[in-house]
């Protein structure tokens, strides 16, 4: 293989590596998921700049890029009435690159999809 092709291949691999490693360590903007999300089983969930309102409860959340997409972590367990304190975290797995299609999470032991309404 000619040296020019080897150098070109190395350069392409370096650019791709920088892109993917940068995406893994870049924190997503919390405004990406700002809005309200609804589901027929539960109270609406409102997410605004790192704060979550659900039923009578309020909690903070953190966003991160996971290998399967944008994910939020909420301290506590999700129930039909709100977030209860616990040593575990609830996980919101967003659909679409910025959560425009809603997310899936477990509420009271069952997985539900919450659709973005605004």
In a domain, 88, yes or no: yes
**Model-level pTM?**
0.74
| In a domain? residue 8 | no
The span from the CA of 73 to the CA of 96, in Å, is: 17
- Residue 116 three-state SS: strand
Determine, yes or no, domain membership for 85: yes
Distance CA 98, CA 25 (A): 17
Provide the domain count of the chain: 1
What residue numbers bound the domain in which 94 lies?
Answer: 28-116
Residue 57's pLDDT is what? 92
In this structure, is residue 11 part of a structural domain?
no
Please list, residue by residue across 27-64, b when 16 or more beta carbons sit within 10 angstroms of its beta carbon and e when fewer do: ebebebbebebbeeebbebbbeeeebbbeebebebebe
Q: Which residues of the chain have pLDDT under 70?
A: 1, 21-26, 98
Confidence at residue 90, expressed as pLDDT on a 0 to 100 scale: 95
pLDDT at residue number 66: 85
């Amino acid at each position: 293989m000619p040296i020019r092709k080897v150098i070109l291949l190395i350069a392409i691999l370096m650019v791709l590596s920088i892109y993917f490693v940068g995406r893994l360590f870049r924190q997503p903007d919390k405004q990406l998921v700002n809005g309200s999300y609804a589901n027929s089983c539960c109270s609406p969930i409102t997410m605004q700049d790192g704060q979550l309102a659900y039923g009578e409860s309020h909690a903070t959340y953190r966003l991160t890029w996971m290998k399967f997409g944008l994910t939020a972590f909420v301290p506590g367990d999700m129930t039909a009435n709100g977030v209860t304190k616990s040593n575990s975290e609830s996980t919101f797995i967003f659909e679409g690159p910025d959560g425009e299609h809603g997310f899936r999470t477990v509420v009271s032991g069952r997985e539900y999809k919450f659709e973005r309404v605004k």
